[in-house]
Structure 1
Amino acid sequence: MASITEQFNDIISIYSAKLEHSSLRQDSPEYQGLLLSTIEKLLNLRTAIFDRLALFSTNETIDDISTTSIKFLAVDYYLGLLISRRQSNDSGVAQRQSMKLIYLKKSIESFISFLTILQDYKLLDPLVSEKLGNFKDRYKPQLSELYAQPKNDKDLSGAQLKRKEKIELFQRNKEVSAKLHYLELELRNDGEDHDHDELLRELYLVRLSQFSLDTFNNIEQNLFECEMLSNFLKNSSHEIESPSTQIRKESNDNDSTGFTDKLENINRPLIDKKGQVLRNFTLVDKRQQLQQKVRGYGQYGPTMSVEEFLDKEFEDGRVLQGGEEPEQVPDEENMHWQDKETYKAREWDEFKESHAKGSGNTMNRG
């Protein structure tokens, strides 16, 4: 039988090589099957480490733990990563989203357990430890509890505070990653000048610190996804049909008015002899139906041009006309009209004689 260390290393290698960056879709049966078997192995290993072998105790400090056992403190961290990738194979969308919400909450609980263990051994990064203490319910954190909030609701500095804390976490993660990279290089080039056990121990502790910072980011991402799924389930109109609903629909078939809401009964008459409307309908003619087939985009748009619509409105008498004064046709036999036109022509001739062409602007002024 493989040792605890061999089992742990085997699980980590499977996660790194086949699950973390897999060519398979996460919702594929092959991926989920491998993921489920890996979770079962890790749960059995966790039981052996914490219960059967009791490698860790609350009465101990980190100095009392052997170097080879330090890496086992990350069991809950990897368990949270694995559970967050679980997906249901239910056919219904609402059922799948509901199960995904459960998996994400379980993943958050595993991440919190990992941070709590590090805090008990005084290994947790101070930035993360402060945030962990702000949770009202430690294993059920809220998205609003991750970052500092202004005391006054009217204070608009919340975004600035969040940005400041994110920068601090990023810089801290950058420092830890650089230190981890340095220790890994030192371990590869380990010679007689270095104590191998001390170097390996420091490497494990720095790696746990990096895991704690990564865990906080994973908790934030999971809480974001939980909030989206919760809103989706609240607003979802896809409900499982209950037996009472089926009975109610069957009773509608025997309605005295003949009304039915079943989509398949589209050949029933539009109205009965008494004028009762039996189903929704739209008035169309053959020409409109042909236009729908030609001009449609999948969703049918208007099938009458503006000109056709106006012609139809004029034809049906729906357009109001008139309102302006009718044009008066002159009566050439009317003596009064003839005198008026004669005087008008004389005045125009006199004006042209007294105002020669070009005399209006002799100075060429614009």
Structure 2
Amino acid sequence: MDGNESTPDSVNLSNDFDTSLRLIKELDNSDLPTNNINYQNKVKQTISLLERSTVMVNQLSLFSENETISDVASSSIKYLLLPALLGYLHMKLVTKDRLESLIIANIYFKDYLKRIVSYEVCPIGIDLDELEDGEEEEDQQQEGNSNSKETIKIEKPKKVFTSNSIAELQAMGRERLAKIENYRRQKEIDEKLESLEPIVNCNDGEDASDEQRREYFILLIKKWVSIGIEEMSSIAKEKEVLSLMRKMGGKKVEPKEKPKSEPIKPFIITRTELQKKVFGLGYPAIPTMSIEQFVDIKIKEGALSEQKPGQSNSLMDWAQNPDIKKQQDEDDAAIKEKAEDEEDKEALIKARGWDEFKDDNKRGWGNRYNRS
């Protein structure tokens, strides 16, 4: 057997854990698609390291149920992250049975959050017992993988929400408030982590004091609380979709044909009865008078001139005989030209009179100031 597995020690445990953190950072910064074989191999390698670390933590008995975060040694605090990191990596696994990976990830995240509450690290803002997480499927999955997975067994009280129940609505409200609080807390934690990370990670943490390393990993634990809550929410939604697809058995759902509806006729909304009479019953409005009646009314109003001999103002006549309109336009143009000629004569007379005035009155004669 490997020496790391037969005789676990804190050095091997720390090396495996630090290597896992480095690999997770490389996965997050990788440009490879999730289903790439190299990406998946790195995910499986990291999961193997974390599972081995979990075994060593249990063998070394680094944690006790009756402890709080203040009782945990500074060198052991970081191992509280193990369930969260395992759940995060199982979310990245691409397998034939996606639902199985989601159930395992959900178990890890829930175990992590329960440990945070048990060790009084920080409030998580949600009631874990009220999360709808398909616990019957998880129990079956745990029984099937109990020999191959190193997990922490926690008794789960079974609760079933009925649709539109008050308890479910209250849980949704608390979950919403928790998301708002997590977002605010996440911003504060990220700012502090940015200032401590260069110190802790430089020269394998030799330059950092014990207090700085402790503060750094406690902040990292709090950050993963927010990540765990968000991941559990997305897991619940994805499981609903996968469960529905499994029930359907891969059958295609053909959309139902919508009954053809008649197009809505346009209409005019009026405020008063008078407007209704003006606009009619709808659009297009029903005619209320003939073209001849319309022309007669316009003649009485003065908008159109009365009909002259040989001239028609009827719109119907204009439409039937376009030459009438052409003749009228020519007559109007001749009248306009004649008027302009008359105006030109008047302007010519005025210009000649002005020239005669300037001949008789030289410029400056009226502004001599009594000078000779």
TM-score by length of 1: 0.52
Residues in 2 aligned to 1:158 and 1:134: alpha-carbon distance in whole angstroms: 7
| 3-state SS of paired residue (1:67) | coil
Residues in 2 aligned to 1:202 and 1:21: alpha-carbon distance in whole angstroms: 25
In structure 1, the residue matched to 2:92 is 85
Alpha-carbon displacement from aligned partner over 1:35-67 (angstroms, at most 9, x marks no partner): 2222122111111112x2111121333333221
- Pair 171,150 (structure 1): closer, same or farther in 2 beyond 3 Å: farther
- Counterpart of 1:68, as a letter, is S
In structure 2, the residue matched to 1:106 is 104
Residues in 2 aligned to 1:186 and 1:45: alpha-carbon distance in whole angstroms: 25
2:69 touches 2:119 (CA, 8 Å); kept in 1?
yes
Does residue 47 of structure 2 align to residue 39 of structure 1? yes
Work out the percentage of aligned pairs sharing the same amino acid.
24
Alpha-carbon displacement from aligned partner over 1:122-166 (angstroms, at most 9, x marks no partner): 11x3243x332434779669xx999xx88399x9x9987765443
In structure 1, the residue matched to 2:194 is 181
- Counterpart of 1:180, as a letter, is L
Shift of 1:8: 0.8
In structure 2, the residue matched to 1:254 is none
Residues in 2 aligned to 1:35 and 1:41: alpha-carbon distance in whole angstroms: 10
- Counterpart of 2:231, as a letter, is N
In structure 2, the residue matched to 1:215 is 228
2:17 touches 2:49 (CA, 8 Å); kept in 1?
no
- Pair 121,22 (structure 1): closer, same or farther in 2 beyond 3 Å: same
| 3-state SS of paired residue (2:14) | helix
In structure 1, the residue matched to 2:12 is 3
Residues in 1 aligned to 2:56 and 2:115: alpha-carbon distance in whole angstroms: 17
In structure 2, the residue matched to 1:27 is 35
Residues in 2 aligned to 1:111 and 1:104: alpha-carbon distance in whole angstroms: 10
Q: CA RMSD in A?
A: 3.9
Residues in 1 aligned to 2:86 and 2:43: alpha-carbon distance in whole angstroms: 11
Residues in 1 aligned to 2:21 and 2:200: alpha-carbon distance in whole angstroms: 20
1:73 touches 1:114 (CA, 8 Å); kept in 2?
yes
2:200 touches 2:208 (CA, 8 Å); kept in 1?
no
Residues in 2 aligned to 1:201 and 1:61: alpha-carbon distance in whole angstroms: 14
In structure 1, the residue matched to 2:345 is none
Residues in 2 aligned to 1:162 and 1:56: alpha-carbon distance in whole angstroms: 29
In structure 2, the residue matched to 1:151 is 166
- Which structure features the higher share of helix residues? 2
1:135 touches 1:145 (CA, 8 Å); kept in 2?
no
- Counterpart of 1:43, as a letter, is E
- Pair 238,168 (structure 1): closer, same or farther in 2 beyond 3 Å: same
- Pair 159,120 (structure 1): closer, same or farther in 2 beyond 3 Å: closer
Residues in 2 aligned to 1:145 and 1:168: alpha-carbon distance in whole angstroms: 27
**1:216-365 equivalent positions in 2, closer than 5 A:** 216-237=229-250, 364-365=299-300
- Counterpart of 1:131, as a letter, is D
How many pairs were matched up?
A: 223
- Counterpart of 1:61, as a letter, is T
2:43 touches 2:89 (CA, 8 Å); kept in 1?
yes
- Pair 111,188 (structure 1): closer, same or farther in 2 beyond 3 Å: closer
Out of 120, 128, 134, the residue aligned to residue 132 of structure 1 is: 128
Unmatched segments (≥5 aa) in structure 1: 89-95, 240-359
| 3-state SS of paired residue (1:126) | coil
Out of 209, 212, 221, the residue aligned to residue 196 of structure 1 is: 209
2:80 touches 2:112 (CA, 8 Å); kept in 1?
yes
- Pair 75,166 (structure 1): closer, same or farther in 2 beyond 3 Å: closer
Residues in 2 aligned to 1:65 and 1:201: alpha-carbon distance in whole angstroms: 10
1:112 touches 1:138 (CA, 8 Å); kept in 2?
no
Residues in 2 aligned to 1:84 and 1:20: alpha-carbon distance in whole angstroms: 13
- Counterpart of 1:34, as a letter, is K
- Pair 161,47 (structure 1): closer, same or farther in 2 beyond 3 Å: closer
TM-score by length of 2: 0.51
Residues in 2 aligned to 1:137 and 1:226: alpha-carbon distance in whole angstroms: 9
Alpha-carbon displacement from aligned partner over 1:100-122 (angstroms, at most 9, x marks no partner): 01101100101111112222211
Larger Rg: 2
Alpha-carbon displacement from aligned partner over 1:315-340 (angstroms, at most 9, x marks no partner): xxxxxxxxxxxxxxxxxxxxxxxxxx
Residues in 2 aligned to 1:63 and 1:162: alpha-carbon distance in whole angstroms: 28
Out of 36, 60, 70, the residue aligned to residue 53 of structure 1 is: 60
- Pair 58,127 (structure 1): closer, same or farther in 2 beyond 3 Å: closer
